[in-house]
Structure 1
Amino acid sequence: MSRILMHPTYFPDIISFAHLAQYEVVWEVQDHYQKQTYRNRTYIATDQGRQMLNIPIKHVGGSQGRQDYRAVRLENSYPWQRQHWRGLQTAYRTSPFFEFYEDDLLPLFEKDFTYLMDLNLETTRVLCDCLQLDFPEEKTTRWEAAPEGIIDGRKLVNAKAAFPVEIPEYRQVFMERHGFIQNLSTLDLLFNLGPEAPSYLDELKLSHRDA
């Protein structure tokens, strides 16, 4: 199995999770934090269409320069966890498998996390458990701009980038209203396909160019 370098993200999108299912992932943990990425956001399908769930973080002053991703703290004075859980309940309570997985997911919204990276790794770990996939444990020990001997999948973290991967249509809760919405959080796939989701991820056609 080929190895791929990826950033930990918040409830990763379907394309990212397909890479996790099909490759041996090494987590990039030595990088700087960047805005406009999936590090602190994910997208779900609601009755209003595609909706972002955004995690507030504590921003450091400009004099401190760029912040290490590992050091980014969550802004927990705002009840974002409660808001995100309510958003998921509202969006997916009529989906075929929300009730089946909600007891596995709810603790993520009740536990206190200090660091964004720790939260992201834990959301991915829980999703792996739900999908019966092995969670990747290997992490980088130093930053490399051009790593050798591994596929560089770090650009998958860019929330504004478009990747040439065809996401085959599957049943979504609000399809009649909004049509099929591409590449949402893997939560959307889990709640709508349930036990069929791992096969869907395995069969998604990826190539090295996609990473």
Structure 2
Amino acid sequence: MESQLLLPAFYLPAVSYFHIIQQNEQPLLIERFEHYPKQTYRTRAKIATANGVLNLIVPILHGENEHVPVRDIRINYDFNWQRLHWLSLQTAYRSSAYFEYYEDDFYRFYAKRYDFLLDFNIEQLQLLLKCLKINRPITFTQAYTSRIEPVDYREAIHPKKPSLLERPKPYYQVFEDKHGFLPDLSAVDLLFNHGPQSKSYL
């Protein structure tokens, strides 16, 4: 069996997520059956703003059963978080070199309602792979397994763990003069600042 690169589906994944993909040539295998883990990048993305790093968090519906497969997690629309996230992205990146170029592609994630978090995250992943010019097929797990037959990165990228980018090479960021270089933000930070040159950074 051909080896695969096992990853979770994150919200606007970090630069390190795509660095892993670039460094490993295997097809992508996205986890669908793990129990939803709280406080991870599955619902959280980091962007650079005038005030420093901002966490954008997608609210989800919490049921009584804590052990819910990630594929069954539903997005909560009790308040208009989509408008807030889109305004935050616009405010953070409207002066970047390539935001206007990609704006329409990303706006749809904040204009359309997605029932399931996994569908929302997968569509973003597909768009980011296209924008970063990474041609890699995506498949999905058919059951949960703790056996690490593929290259397993399900727990490697986490807000409470050090970044996998040990010595991240700085690239230009809009607010770098205020905060210095902020490493391993959402890949949209790299994309909006460097556009088609982003792949060479990875």
TM score, norm. by length of structure 1: 0.89
Cα contact 1:39–1:157 (8 A) shared by 2 = no
* Larger deviation, residues 14-23 vs 36-45: 14-23
Per-residue deviation at 1:134? 2.4
Alignment partner, residue 108 of structure 1: 109
Alignment partner, residue 40 of structure 1: 43
Q: 1:22-41 maps to which residues of 2 (within 5 A)?
A: 22-23=23-24, 24=26, 25-41=28-44
Cα contact 1:6–1:156 (8 A) shared by 2 = no
Cα contact 2:75–2:117 (8 A) shared by 1 = yes
RMSD of aligned residue pairs (Cα, Å): 1.5
Greater helix proportion: 1
Q: 1:161-200 maps to which residues of 2 (within 5 A)?
A: 161-165=161-165, 166-200=167-201
User: What is the distance in 2 between the residues matched to 1:157 and 1:177?
Assistant: 27
Per-residue deviation at 1:156? 2.9
Cα contact 2:157–2:163 (8 A) shared by 1 = no
TM score, norm. by length of structure 2: 0.93
Identical-pair percentage: 38
Per-residue deviation at 1:144? 1.2
The DSSP-based 3-state class of the residue aligned with 2:46 is strand
**Matched positions, count:** 198
Per-residue deviation at 1:159? 1.8
User: What is the distance in 2 between the residues matched to 1:2 and 1:198?
Assistant: 23
Residue ranges of structure 2 left out of the alignment (5+ in a row): none
Residue ranges of structure 1 left out of the alignment (5+ in a row): 202-211
The DSSP-based 3-state class of the residue aligned with 2:155 is helix
Per-residue deviation at 1:188? 0.1
Letter in 2 for 1:34: P
Q: Is the alpha carbon distance of 1:93 and 1:65 closer, same or farther for their aligned partners in structure 2, counting shifts above 3 Å?
A: closer
